[in-house]
């Protein structure tokens, strides 16, 4: 039934939540490949040297299979378009961020996949028996009928386990060709849902925590402060103004939005939640607003060029013209409350 609804539909998401919640009691572990996985903290995995380059793994050690725990902080549908279309989306990508949940850890990590080999190549990595659609089904539906969504606490077991890219270390398949003999035994990562509906922690900060008095990014190689400390996790900022409302558009990394707080500014990109298109961006240039967004980095200079990533219209408030939910969505939410009795997902802001 779910597959008959548009993938961008909010109703689809709620219906999926209803069905998956009813199946929660039947959760089982993801398939095991028999490898010995090393539990790895996000803060260890994202460690950097003083020039911003990746410090994991330490010394001359080779990467080893890792196990990582985190809570999903963006719906897969809201970040990058992973549906292949030869005309509208010829190079699909998939990305989900998971945020640290352990008390002695911080930050987060991106899980990333792409259909074609990067760096200008047109090589299709999924042209054999394992298709791109197969991998998207496997990752987006870890237990077939249970879809991955924001607020899921998950375990990730990564065989490769990943690669550094433009300022952060990503869990991926190292862009291996799925026709390689070792793709399933040495390259994939798996997702196991451990808990659903986890409240998301968002650190309440100001741009002064991310920028210095000269409006330059704060880079701290110890990751105790500044942008590195919050990278790949949720932050909440209030009293922002939008400098360039004319550039308001769904994911357009080459033309980032600029949010301002006093004399400090910060780049921001939008996800692909279609409801974001209904926002009156001009109002955001005169009426202070707040956001809860992912602190991201994708830069050739790993000590600079951080950005905020706003993936959902529900994470924008305080003056934003957010459209009213449709009647069908309200009805579905009511059904969810009756059938599943789920606790309401929300942000728990922390200092």
Q: Which domains does the chain have, with CATH numbers?
A: 28-195 (2.40.50.140), 200-326 (2.40.50.140)
pLDDT value of position 328: 37
pLDDT along the chain (351 residues), means of 10: 41 42 43 70 97 86 90 97 91 97 96 91 93 97 90 97 94 96 96 96 97 98 98 98 98 97 98 97 97 97 97 82 38 35 38 43
How many Å apart are CA 314 and CA 306, to the nearest integer? 22
CA atoms within 13 A on the CB side of 209: 18
pTM assigned to the model: 0.83
Query: So what's the pLDDT on residue 120?
Result: 72
Residues whose CB is less than 8 angstroms from the CB of residue 294 and which lie 6 or more positions away in sequence, other chains included: 73, 74, 97, 108, 232, 233, 234, 235, 308, 309, 311
282: left (phi over 0), alpha (psi -120 to 50) or beta: alpha
**Given the structure tokens 């992973």, which residue do they identify?**
82
């Amino acid at each position: 039934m779910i597959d008959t609804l548009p993938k961008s539909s909010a109703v689809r998401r709620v219906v999926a939540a209803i069905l998956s919640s009813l199946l929660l009691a039947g959760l089982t572990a993801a398939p095991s490949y028999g490898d010995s996985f090393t539990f790895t903290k996000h803060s260890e995995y994202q460690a950097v040297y003083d020039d911003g380059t990746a410090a994991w793994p330490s010394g001359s050690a080779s990467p080893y299979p890792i196990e990582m725990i985190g809570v999903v902080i963006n719906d897969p549908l809201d970040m990058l378009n992973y549906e292949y279309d030869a005309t509208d989306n010829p190079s699909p990508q998939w990305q989900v961020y998971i945020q640290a949940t352990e008390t002695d850890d911080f930050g987060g990590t991106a899980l990333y996949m792409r259909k074609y080999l990067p760096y200008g190549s047109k090589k299709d990595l999924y042209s054999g028996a394992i298709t791109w659609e197969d991998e998207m089904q496997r990752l987006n539906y870890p237990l077939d009928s249970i879809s991955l969504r924001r607020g899921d606490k998950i375990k990730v077991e990564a065989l490769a386990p990943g690669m550094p890219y433009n300022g952060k270390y990503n869990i991926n398949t190292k862009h291996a060709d799925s026709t390689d003999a070792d793709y399933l035994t040495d390259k994939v990562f798996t997702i196991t849902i451990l808990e659903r509906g986890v409240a998301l922690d968002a650190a309440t900060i100001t741009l002064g925590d991310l920028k210095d008095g000269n409006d330059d990014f704060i880079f701290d190689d110890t990751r105790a402060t500044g942008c590195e400390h919050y990278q790949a996790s949720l932050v909440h900022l209030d009293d922002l103004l939008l400098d360039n409302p004319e550039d308001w558009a769904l994911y357009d990394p080459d033309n980032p939005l600029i949010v301002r707080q006093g004399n400090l500014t910060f780049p921001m990109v939008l996800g692909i939640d279609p409801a974001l298109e209904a926002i009156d961006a001009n109002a955001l240039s005169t009426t202070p607003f707040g956001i809860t967004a992912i602190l991201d980095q994708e830069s050739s200079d790993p000590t600079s060029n951080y950005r905020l990533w706003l993936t959902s219209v529900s994470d924008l408030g305080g003056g934003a013209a957010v459209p009213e939910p449709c009647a069908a969505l309200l009805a579905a939410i009511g059904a969810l409350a009756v059938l599943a009795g789920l606790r309401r997902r929300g942000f728990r802001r922390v200092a």
